Amino acid sequence: MTVTVLGISGSPHRHGNTETLLDSFLEGARAAGATVEKVVLKDLDYAPCRGCNACHKTGECIVKDDAIALFDKILAADCIAVASPIYTMGITAELKGLIDRGQYLWARKFILKTLFFPDEQIKRHKGLFISTAGQNWDHVFDGAFPAITAIFNGTGFEYYDNIIANNMDEFKGIKNHPTALKDAFEKGQKVVGVIETLKTG
């Protein structure tokens, strides 16, 4: 049973520190036999949430753009790796904009009660957060975690792990980090094995 892994790159900087870390994770997942896809948010066309609350009545978003197809893809994946550098103590505008657009799923869950993720399903679906930051500060990722938790909760994924590397300014890039790329590759391999066992067992 093939495991599908979707990487979502929220950095506007192509092939920078964060996308490179995400790529390592995805290579590990591919090496373990997963079907892997990467979506680059900056190449998609989607608007921010309008806050019109139409979804509270219909469970659908009235804005028909690339965000809808991406949420369909997320809902169909076994594993999602959501990647964003730290921008001003949080996630990038690209990623936050996408997460807000998932409000129609929130409406289905909590207002219309037409969407429910059973515990067993959540356990089989793993979400990872991948991030890099310039500063050498242990808490530099703290501002990002709540929104990441929200997208995993909203789409039925267990918040499985973080792959995070700070101090990029001093390292002068992720390629000079002593362990991060190897760790990401190994985590990619490992999570595929874990999901495989859960799917077949």
Ligand X SMILES: Cc1cc2nc3c(=O)[nH]c(=O)nc-3n(C[C@H](O)[C@H](O)[C@H](O)COP(=O)(O)O)c2cc1C
94, amino acid identity: E
Shortest Cβ contact with ligand X: which residue?
A: 16
Kindly tell me which residue out of 5, 17, 126, 144 binds ligand X, with binding defined by CB under 6 A: 17
In three-state secondary structure terms, 163 is strand
**CB nearer to ligand X: pick between 5 and 165:** 165
**CB nearer to ligand X: pick between 58 and 176:** 176
Answer yes or no whether residue 11 interacts with ligand X by CB under 6 A.
yes
In three-state secondary structure terms, 62 is coil
Q: Could you count the other beta carbons within 10 Å of the beta carbon of residue 61?
A: 22
10, amino acid identity: G
**CB nearer to ligand X: pick between 104 and 141:** 141
- Residues in contact with ligand X, counted by CB under 6 A, come to a total of 17
**Site pattern 58..97 for ligand X (x: CB under 6 A):** ---------------------------xxxxx--------
Three-state SS string over 82-107 comes to EECCCECCECCHHHHHHHHHCHHHHH
**CB nearer to ligand X: pick between 19 and 183:** 19
Q: Where does 12-169 show beta strands of DSSP type E?
A: 35-40, 79-83, 126-132, 158-165
**What is the longest distance spanned by two Cα atoms in the chain?**
51
Q: Which residues contact 133 (CB under 8 A, 6 or more apart)?
A: 85, 86, 140, 141, 164, 165, 166, 167, 168
Bridge partners of residue 82, in order along the sequence:
8, 129
* Smallest separation (angstroms) from ligand X to the CB of 159: 21
Contacting ligand X within 126-185 (CB under 6 A):
132-135, 140, 168
* Smallest separation (angstroms) from ligand X to the CB of 54: 32
Listed ranges 13-21, 57-65, 70-78, 106-114: which one lies at the site for ligand X (CB under 6 A): 13-21
Return residues touching ligand X (CB under 6 A). 11, 13, 16-19, 85-89, 132-135, 140, 168
